[in-house]
Structures are given as structure tokens and as C-alpha cells.
């Protein structure tokens, strides 16, 4: 009998300053650290039979390289590009070239914040977006991506 090939991991990529979660403006971003979010995301993904590649970088080029890597090595993408969400056409273009489902996630409610956070170049290339639900948003993003991958 042919063996069933293992599903590729989902990529969960995090941009600038998200390494500071837990101590960075907790009233805006909550108290969960990125390590906690990583653990919770992996546990949620396990429940869907999925593995996670969870990463963070403060450098735009790293995020672009990882999105390119996801084209062949990932099944889909959850992306919190931090402030690059609002500025990076290069990340937008990398997302457009991915050809796999993308769920944009933000801890804070961008629509309720400064006008410069109301524009998202990621949202234009994403399948859907989750914002304002804190760390829980990552688990919901895993659920959403799992459902999209089932389709």
C-alpha cells in the first residue's frame, strides 16, 4: 500500500519587535511572550494533525526569504509582519507569489489604532485577517488555516 506523505508544516512568521512580546506595551499587545504563543500555536496545530515552523525576525529580508522558502517547504502561512505590515510592498509581493493560503494576524485591533496602522499591504495579499484578539488570534489563525487546507 502506498504510504501517505506527511503534510508540510505551516509557517508562522513574525516581524519586527515581536520578540519583545510580554514586556512591550502590554496594555496594547498583552502579556504573553512569543515563546508562549509559539507553544500554544504548535499545540493547536497538533490538534489538526499539523506541524509548525514558528519564526521571528526584525529584518525584512529574512521574512521575504522565509516566505519564499514556504513556497516549497510549507503548506500555508500565518503572518504577523509587525510594522512592516503597513510599509512593505516587498512582503506584499512575496505573499502574492506564495500561491498558498495566508492568514494575517495581529494582536492589537488595527482599526481602532493610529491611522498609519489602518493600511495593511499584507491584507491585500492574504486570504483573510484576524486582529484585536491578542495571543488567542494565533490559535484562531491556526484553526482558519487548517480549515483552508482541508478545502
Residues 38-97 binding ligand DHK (CB under 6 A) are 80, 82-83, 85
Q: Which is nearer to ligand DHK, 75 or 85 (CB)?
A: 85
Catalytic residue selected from 29, 59, 92, 138 = 29
Residue nearer to ligand DHK on the CB measure, 17 or 53 = 17
Q: From the candidates 11, 48, 86, 106, which is the catalytic residue? A: 106
82 in Cβ contact with 57 (< 8 Å): no
Residue 65 CB coordination number (10 Å): 13
Q: Which of residues 102-121 bind ligand DHK (CB under 6 A)?
A: 106-108, 117
Could you confirm whether 59 is annotated as catalytic? no
Instruction: Write down the H helix ranges in the chain.
Output: 26-29, 34-47, 60-73, 89-96, 136-150
Length of the chain (residues): 151
Judge whether 92 counts as a catalytic residue: no
Q: CA angle at residue 30 from 28 to 35, to 5 degrees?
A: 130
Nearer to ligand DHK (CB atom), residue 67 or residue 79: 79
The separation between CA 11 and the C-alpha centre of its own chain, rounded to angstroms, equals: 7
Residues 11-40 that bind ligand DHK (CB under 6 A): 17-18
The distance of closest approach from Cβ of residue 146 to ligand DHK in the complex, given in angstroms and rounded to an integer, is 21
CA atoms within 13 A on the CB side of 136: 4
Active site residues: 29, 106
Enumerate binding residues for ligand DHK (CB under 6 A).
17-18, 80, 82-83, 85, 106-108, 117
Amino acid at each position: 500500500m502506498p504510504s501517505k506523505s506527511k503534510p508540510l508544516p505551516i509557517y508562522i512568521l513574525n516581524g519586527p519587535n515581536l520578540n519583545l512580546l510580554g514586556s512591550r506595551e502590554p496594555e496594547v499587545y498583552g502579556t504573553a511572550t512569543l515563546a508562549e504563543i509559539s507553544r500554544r500555536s504548535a499545540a493547536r496545530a497538533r490538534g489538526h494533525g499539523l506541524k509548525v515552523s514558528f519564526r521571528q525576525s526584525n529584518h525584512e529580508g529574512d521574512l521575504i526569504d522565509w516566505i519564499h522558502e514556504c513556497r516549497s517547504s510549507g503548506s500555508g502561512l500565518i503572518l504577523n509582519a509587525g510594522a512592516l505590515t503597513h510599509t512593505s510592498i516587498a512582503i506584499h509581493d512575496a505573499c502574492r507569489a506564495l500561491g498558498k493560503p495566508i492568514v494575517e494576524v495581529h494582536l492589537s485591533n488595527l482599526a481602532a489604532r493610529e491611522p498609519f496602522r489602518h493600511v495593511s499591504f499584507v491584507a491585500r495579499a492574504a486570504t483573510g485577517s484576524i486582529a484585536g484578539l491578542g495571543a488567542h488570534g494565533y490559535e484562531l489563525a491556526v484553526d482558519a488555516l487548517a480549515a483552508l487546507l482541508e478545502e
